Structure 1
Amino acid sequence: MMPSMTIDADQAIADTRRWVDRAVIGLQLCPFAKAVQVRGQVHYAVHAGDDLDRLAARLLAEAEALRALPADVRDTTLLIVPDALHDFYDFHDFSGRCERLMRRAGHEGELQLASFHPRFQFAGTDEDDIGNFTNRSPHPVLHLLREASIDRAVDAFPNAADIFERNIDTLEALGEGGWAALDVGAGAGGRP
């Protein structure tokens, strides 16, 4: 486990918003993200510290808060974890634990959990494979999504199954230099 480092919550949110705007929306990695971002329906939350039990409890609390609000107020939540889970494999294991906790808490069929990490790596790929950058965020992020919103977005987007392949093509064309030019890493772009 890497030593804990404290990152200001405002900076972590600014980093993550910049990544969403420049990479996720700017490169159209997720064609569903722009509408909820523009309408202010994305909730950005930061979990400070490195206590994983508290983080799991926070995720469950964020899931309850998301379900308690109508989708037109809050459609999705990005829980940013700047002070913990810097090792991708630890993060991956923790994400699996969180999925199990969410099922036990009764969120199955209502919410899905997606994950993003600065060192994200798909199984069977090399660490520096450009395709991994589709899921690389400036800080570890646990993303809560409403299943009903996903279903509506998929119905509205023809060939939704092709998104992953298109994203790989986009990143291969962009290359590592193009990704670096987006300036979407932690602390990039200066203070908010």
Structure 2
Amino acid sequence: MHPAIEQTKQWLAEIVIGLNFCPFAKKEFVNDTIHYHVSSAGRIEPALEALMAQCQYLSEHDELETSLVIFSTGFRQFERYLDLLDYANELLVDSGYEGIFQLASFHPDYCFEGEDIDDAANYTNRSPYPTIHLIREASMERVLAVYQQPEAIPENNIALAHEKGATYFKNVLKRIKKQ
């Protein structure tokens, strides 16, 4: 298994699932319905090609719930990653995947607009590698329909991140990356 996949799985287990940042992730993680794709793309065009290939792959594999496109070497600069994300969202629409898939974004240097770079809340979206998460919209709609107060998830995550503190997250990510 590629080290980027191993480290991403560890991050999912410890942070995303362990802290319940995404209350829907555990089921898919345990059921092994998450597809992991590592891309070494460092330029926008090949990265978008990899993303579209994953959309096609998910379309052909109903047994998989979601896909994580992990950029193992490229898009280390957060601003460059945000450019990729903008293009990726446009391409979803242009390729006819709007309403089928949506994107969630994670990056080692993720920073919410208007927040301080060291704010612990940023760790709700910080990951070992730049990663784009492809989510099936129909599945998301189904789980949100039965989940009480889904709008509170981001607020709860930010509160927990502040409670844990940035140092906690820095240490976990540092340890994961050393493995």
Asked if Structure 1 and Structure 2 have the same fold, meaning a TM-score greater than 0.5 normalized by the shorter chain, the answer is yes
Greater per-residue helix proportion: 2
When the two structures are aligned, how many residues end up with a matched partner?
Answer: 179
CA distances 1:3-54 after superposition (whole Å, capped 9, x unpaired):
xxxxxx7111111111111000000000000001100000011002423211
**2:20 aligns to what SS in structure 1?**
coil
**1:188 aligns to what SS in structure 2?**
helix
**2:9 aligns to what SS in structure 1?**
helix
Gaps of 5+ in 2: none
Gaps of 5+ in 1: 1-8
Distance verdict in 2 for CA 1:179–1:16, change over 3 Å: same
**2:5 aligns to what SS in structure 1?**
helix
Q: Which residue matches 1:50?
A: 42
Retained in 2: the 8 A contact 1:23–1:29? Answer: yes
Retained in 2: the 8 A contact 1:50–1:84? Answer: yes
Q: Which residue matches 1:80?
A: 70
Distance 1:105 1:186 in 2: 39
Distance 1:166 1:119 in 2: 21
TM-score, with length taken from structure 2: 0.95
**1:184 aligns to what SS in structure 2?**
helix
**2:68 aligns to what SS in structure 1?**
strand
Distance 1:96 1:52 in 2: 10
Tell me if 1:184 matches 2:157.
no
The answer to which of 50-59 and 25-34 deviates more is: 50-59
Equivalent residue letter for 1:138: P
Displacement of 1:176 in angstroms is: 2.0
Which residue of 91, 95, 101 maps to 1:105? 95
Equivalent residue letter for 1:68: E
Displacement of 1:189 in angstroms is: 5.0
**2:173 aligns to what SS in structure 1?**
coil
